[in-house]
């Protein structure tokens, strides 16, 4: 009987444990993707990027003698219908870890097993399953550095090659059309612009990894913080959808270390930040929804998502160039440099005294590399409410940060058109990418600061000192 292979955030053929096991079984493999309510709940940009990824992935499967079947509906019901149509005896998938997916998958697995099917989940999204990393007293890690020490020497499974031709069923089940799903429908008008910057699919991801290892990783220790440089791997959008596996990145990093490339270990550490985020989300699912430290519930953050200062932040019009450049980069490319993410998050939660959940939600709607664990940890870390936040109440000064990490203002000029006689293409593209209803144009005067850096610092520190926790 055929195996239904339910793809979710694992859109690749190589180093895919569930797919390899299915191919090795010799039984027909039917790859499916379901537009279930969790796909419907994705933010605009991640949903759009998923559509690009699915298009590529369907083509890859076609090249492997296979086909991607698309169906809409609640997962269990839809899988049961497919089992009936195809006579499948097994439903396999790659494990997910966010609370919503875990709830869905637990229900699906129990129900399919009760139907007498071989329902099974495989690893592949993470190198270190969250329950396999324990502190000495059997707990989980709340701080990154000891987590890193606990995993750094572990053997990581060597990546598996793609299986080649996949055994096909006698007849394929009917499929919906990807175009009819309109996964980009909520993208306002920036979709084509974002697509220009995206690096879609397994082959593109492998190419990028090769480029990074050949040309960038040696200097990554420093380049990763320079805002204007091509100094990072840019693989997060691919890791997010599983177009590349962390194991593939890890082994490439190990090889670079053996070749004596200085930044390689730092790269491995960053991959472990991703693992750490998942570790925390698994052990404390509240990471994604509320203050990890409940005492922060008393902090006087504004929760008014419609406030003028929040709108200015969202639109990249705070009058603080460093903050606005980051927000505009996200509009145009669907990504944002890590250093800029920390700066804009600090500005929103400290200077603008606005709840991190408002920022988290905005990122969730605009990042093509959106990841439930990394986004939540990034925001809680920046806000101070997370487990491994900065040891003291840190307020990033966006002006000092800009001087250090964008010393010649190249990053700010790339993204901010106002005041430049001939702004570069990305700065102009911003005004194409943003919704027309915002009524903004490149010739506008650049706004005065919503909150001056020094004043914002004072407000935030006062609130922190007067906190009743
Ligand atoms: P590189 O520097 O090349 O790092 C390699 C890989 O390591 C990344 O692709 C990523 O998978 C992982 N990584 C690096 N830094 C981190 C980190 N701080 N936390 C977790 N994993 C990390 N990352 C996301 O993938 N999705 C998000 O939604 C996301 N939201 C964030 C929100 C905030 C407020 C902050 C401060 C950070 C967020 N990050 C998020 C983490 C980080 O900014 C991005 O992973 C990174 O910028 C991606 O660029 P890169 O692939 O070139 O990274």
For residue 469, what pLDDT is reported?
64
Nearest C-alpha neighbor of 6 from the set 88, 87, 64, 84:
88
pTM given for the model = 0.97
Q: What is 1-123's CATH superfamily?
A: HUPs (3.40.50.620)
370 labeled binding residue: yes
Instruction: Give the residues of the chain that fall short of pLDDT 70.
Output: 390-392, 468-469
Question: Within 6 Å (CB) of ligand 1, which residues are found?
Answer: 224, 232-236, 239-240, 270-271, 273-274, 277, 338, 341-342, 345, 363, 367, 369-371, 374-375, 377-379, 382
Nearest-atom number in ligand 1 for the CA of 233 is 3
**Cα of 46 from ligand 1 centre, angstroms:** 15
Which sequence spans correspond to the domains of the chain? 1-123, 126-157+192-283, 294-465
**Spatial distance between the Cα atoms of 267 and 220, rounded to a whole number of angstroms:** 7
Q: In this predicted structure, what is the pLDDT of residue 467?
A: 74
**What does the CA dihedral 336, 338, 342, 345 come to, rounded to 10 degrees?**
30
Q: What is the pLDDT of residue 392?
A: 60
Which of 362, 378, 401 gets mutated to test ligand 1 (max ligand atoms within 8 A of its CB)? 378
Give residue 273's pLDDT.
98
Residue nearest to atom 37 of ligand 1 (CA): 378
Any idea which fold 294-465 has? DNA Cyclobutane Dipyrimidine Photolyase, subunit A; domain 3 (1.10.579)
The domain 126-157+192-283 is placed in CATH, from the list 3.40.50.620, 1.25.40.80, 3.40.50.980, 3.20.20.450, at 1.25.40.80
What DSSP element (H or E) covers 58?
helix 44-63
65-96 pLDDT, tens digit each: 999 999 999 999 999 999 999 999 999 999 99
Ligand 1 mean position, distance from CA 38 (Å):
22
Q: Do the beta carbons of residue 78 and residue 91 sit within 8 Å?
A: no
- pLDDT for the residue 385: 94
- Rounded to whole angstroms, the Cα distance separating 11 from 203 reads 11
pLDDT of residue 329: 98
The end-to-end CA distance of the chain, in Å, is 60
What confidence score (pLDDT) does residue 188 get? 82
325 CA distance to ligand 1 middle (Å): 18
Q: pLDDT at position 391, please?
A: 58
The conformation of residue 254, written as its DSSP 8-state character, comes to H
| Cα–Cα–Cα angle for 212, 216, 217, rounded to 5 degrees | 85
DSSP 353-371: -B-HHHHHHHHHHH-TT--
């Amino acid at each position: 009987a055929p195996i239904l292979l339910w793809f979710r955030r694992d859109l690749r053929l190589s180093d895919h444990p569930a797919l390899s096991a299915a191919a090795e079984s010799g039984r027909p493999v039917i790859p499916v993707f379901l537009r279930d309510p969790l796909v419907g709940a994705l933010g605009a940009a991640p949903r759009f990027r998923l559509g690009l990824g699915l298009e590529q992935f369907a083509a890859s499967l076609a090249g492997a003698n296979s086909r991607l079947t698309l169906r809409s509906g609640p997962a269990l019901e839809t899988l049961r219908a497919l089992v009936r149509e195809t006579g499948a005896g097994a439903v396999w998938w790659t494990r997910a870890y966010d609370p919503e997916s875990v709830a869905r998958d637990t229900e699906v697995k129990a129900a399919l097993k009760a139907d007498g099917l071989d329902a099974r989940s495989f690893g592949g999204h993470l190198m270190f399953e969250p329950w396999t990393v324990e502190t000495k007293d059997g707990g989980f890690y709340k701080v990154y550095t000891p987590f890193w020490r606990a995993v750094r020497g572990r053997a990581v499974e060597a990546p598996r090659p793609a299986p080649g031709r996949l055994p096909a069923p006698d007849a394929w089940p009917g499929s919906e059309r990807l175009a009819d799903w309109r996964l980009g429908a909520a993208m306002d008008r920036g979709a084509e612009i974002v697509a220009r910057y995206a690096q879609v699919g397994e082959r593109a991801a492998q190419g990028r990894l090769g480029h990074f290892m050949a040309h960038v990783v040696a200097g990554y220790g420093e380049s990763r913080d320079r805002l204007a440089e091509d100094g990072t791997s840019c693989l997060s959008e691919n890791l997010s959808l599983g177009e590349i596996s962390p194991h593939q990145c890890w082994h490439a990093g190990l090889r670079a270390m053996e070749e004596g490339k200085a930044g390689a270990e730092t790269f491995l550490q960053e991959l472990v930040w991703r693992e750490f985020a998942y570790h925390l989300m698994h052990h404390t699912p509240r990471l994604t929804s509320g203050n990890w430290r409940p005492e922060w519930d008393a902090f006087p953050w504004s929760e008014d998502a419609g406030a003028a200062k929040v709108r200015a932040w969202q639109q990249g019009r705070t009058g603080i160039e460093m903050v606005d450049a980051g927000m505009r980069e996200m509009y145009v490319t669907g990504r944002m440099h890590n250093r800029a993410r920390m700066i804009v998050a600090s500005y929103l939660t400290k200077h603008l005294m606005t709840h991190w959940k408002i920022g988290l939600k905005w990122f969730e709607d605009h990042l093509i590399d959106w990841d439930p664990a990394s986004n939540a940890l990034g925001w809680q870390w920046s806000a101070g409410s997370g487990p491994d936040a900065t040891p003291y109440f840190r307020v990033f000064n966006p002006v000092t940060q800009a001087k250090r990490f964008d010393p010649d203002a190249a990053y700010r000029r790339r993204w901010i058109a106002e005041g430049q006689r001939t702004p570069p293409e990305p700065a102009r593209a911003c005004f194409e990418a943003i919704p027309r209803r915002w009524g903004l144009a490149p010739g506008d005067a650049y706004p005065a600061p919503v909150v001056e850096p020094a004043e914002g610092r004072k407000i935030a520190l006062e609130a922190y000192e007067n906190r009743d926790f």
